[in-house]
């Protein structure tokens, strides 16, 4: 039966989420000794993949690389990785369809993941699942530089393409101007920034900064520099609140040049964001490439880190092993060890 899978689908379409190939370089740094050595992609769940594709193409101008599986008439092509992805994400009965976008000047790609025929998710569809704000503990936000923020803002505003979260509905802050939005169909958080000189990056908001920093620094080996508290009205307005202050813990994903930031806020009531289901509409996750998944699993179990994947064990794909965990705030993280899979015990 496997010979029915189209060659193009076998070689490219399944690869993004399954981690069988990352086309953009992860740039492993010489001398890198920590457990994390690179970055895969940044996926998030969508309710209707065709509508979500239209938003990222028309509103943000991203380049669509692939949609898989293809439709043949009214039917979807075969996906022989469904069972493995179900085990990886601990979501039974789902059929997956994945769209992958290129992000200019980024060391990662954006993915849209639609789960089809899954009762828990189907029951939730029809209402906005992610009403999150950038300031809520436990959220993940994608930071995208744009060339003309005013033009993008006007387009989003006039065509009702997204939920604009920035106070006043227009770009705010300086010297870096920002516009915080939730994407048009699903509520995934995006921060559009100008000037566009910086690289696209990943921003997490901490509910408990000490625990989150301990996790990323001591367990995953991130190097993050803690800044001073900022109490700038325009900067706070950019993320949708009036008043308060923010402190940023900034660095890059190990083995890459991709900016990575953990923000903590004070001075106002901070809600929590927590999704019970991986792949739920609007909920994103991060794929991190690791050196030795078994060694890291030993540490994760010893530190009582939440493991999502079925059986609390890595899932073996064609050329990788991977497992999904949650950080102290509940953010989903997919750990990937590339290379010829070897069944090993811990």
Q: What is the pLDDT of residue 278?
A: 87
From CA 282, how far away is CA 183, in angstroms rounded? 8
User: ∠ CA 6-94-92 to the nearest 5 degrees?
Assistant: 130
Res 41 pLDDT > 70: yes
Instruction: Compute the mean pLDDT over every residue in the chain, rounded to the nearest whole number.
Output: 83
Residues 132-155: tens digit of each pLDDT: 899 999 999 999 999 899 999 999
User: Sign of the CA dihedral 194, 197, 200, 206?
Assistant: negative
Portion of the chain with pLDDT greater than 70, in percent: 81
Q: What is the pLDDT of residue 143?
A: 96
Q: Which CATH architecture has domain 140-266?
A: Roll (3.10)
Res 309 pLDDT > 60: yes
CATH code: domain 2-127+279-338 is 3.10.180.10
- Rounded to an integer, the average pLDDT of 83-106 is 88
Res 9 pLDDT > 70: no
* 2-127+279-338 and 140-266 agree in CATH topology: yes
- SS3 assignment, position 145: strand
Q: What is the pLDDT of residue 275?
A: 85
- Rounded to an integer, the average pLDDT of 293-315 is 94
- Rounded to an integer, the average pLDDT of 291-295 is 94
The answer to whether the CB of 250 falls within 8 A of the CB of 259 is yes
Structure tokens at 220: 């995953």
* Poorest-pLDDT segment among 7-21, 223-237, 273-287: 7-21
Instruction: Count the Cβ atoms, other than its own, within 10 Å of residue 172.
Output: 21
| Selection from 297, 284, 286, 239 nearest residue 265 by Cα | 239
List all residues 6 or more positions away from 172 whose beta carbon is below 8 Å from its beta carbon: 166, 178, 179, 234, 235, 237, 238
| Longest CA span, the chain | 61
Q: What is the pLDDT of residue 317?
A: 86
User: Sign of the CA dihedral 17, 22, 25, 29?
Assistant: positive
Q: What is the pLDDT of residue 23?
A: 32
Per-domain residue ranges of the chain = 2-127+279-338, 140-266
The answer to whether the CB of 148 falls within 8 A of the CB of 177 is no
Q: Is 318 exposed, middle or buried (0-12, 13-18, 19+ CB in 10 A)?
A: middle
| Selection from 299, 327, 322, 301 nearest residue 219 by Cα | 299
In terms of phi and psi (left: phi > 0; alpha: psi -120 to 50; beta: otherwise), the region of 90 is left
């Amino acid at each position: 039966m496997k010979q029915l899978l189209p060659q193009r689908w076998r070689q490219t379409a399944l690869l993004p989420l399954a981690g069988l190939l990352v086309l953009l370089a992860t740039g492993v740094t010489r001398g890198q000794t920590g457990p994390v050595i690179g970055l895969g992609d940044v996926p998030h769940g969508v309710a209707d993949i065709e509508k979500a594709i239209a938003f990222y193409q028309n509103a943000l101008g991203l380049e669509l690389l692939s949609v898989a599986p293809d439709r043949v008439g009214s039917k979807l092509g075969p996906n022989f990785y469904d069972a493995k992805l179900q085990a990886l994400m601990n979501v039974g009965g789902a059929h997956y369809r994945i769209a992958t976008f290129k992000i200019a000047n980024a060391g990662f790609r954006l993915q849209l993941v639609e789960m089809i025929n899954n009762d828990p998710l189907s029951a939730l569809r029809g209402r906005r699942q992610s009403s999150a704000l950038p300031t809520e503990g436990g959220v993940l936000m994608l930071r995208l530089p744009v060339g003309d923020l005013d033009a993008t803002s006007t387009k989003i505003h006039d065509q009702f393409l997204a939920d604009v979260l920035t106070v006043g509905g227009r770009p705010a802050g300086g010297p870096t101007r920002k516009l915080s939005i939730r994407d048009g169909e699903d509520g995934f958080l995006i921060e559009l920034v100008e000037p566009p000189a910086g690289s696209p990056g990943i921003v997490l908001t901490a509910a408990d900064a000490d625990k989150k920093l301990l996790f990323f620094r001591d367990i995953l080996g991130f190097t993050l520099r803690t800044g001073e508290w900022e109490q700038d009205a325009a900067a706070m307005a950019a993320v949708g609140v009036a008043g308060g202050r923010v402190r940023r813990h900034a660095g890059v994903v190990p083995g890459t040049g991709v900016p990575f930031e953990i923000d903590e806020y004070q001075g106002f009531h901070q809600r929590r964001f927590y999704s019970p289901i991986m792949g739920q509409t609007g909920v994103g996750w991060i794929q991190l490439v690791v050196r030795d998944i078994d060694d890291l699993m030993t540490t994760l179990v010893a530190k009582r880190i939440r493991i999502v994947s079925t059986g609390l064990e890595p899932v073996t794909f064609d050329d990788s092993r991977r497992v999904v965990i949650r950080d102290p705030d509940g953010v989903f993280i997919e750990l990937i060890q590339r290379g010829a899979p070897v069944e090993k015990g811990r």
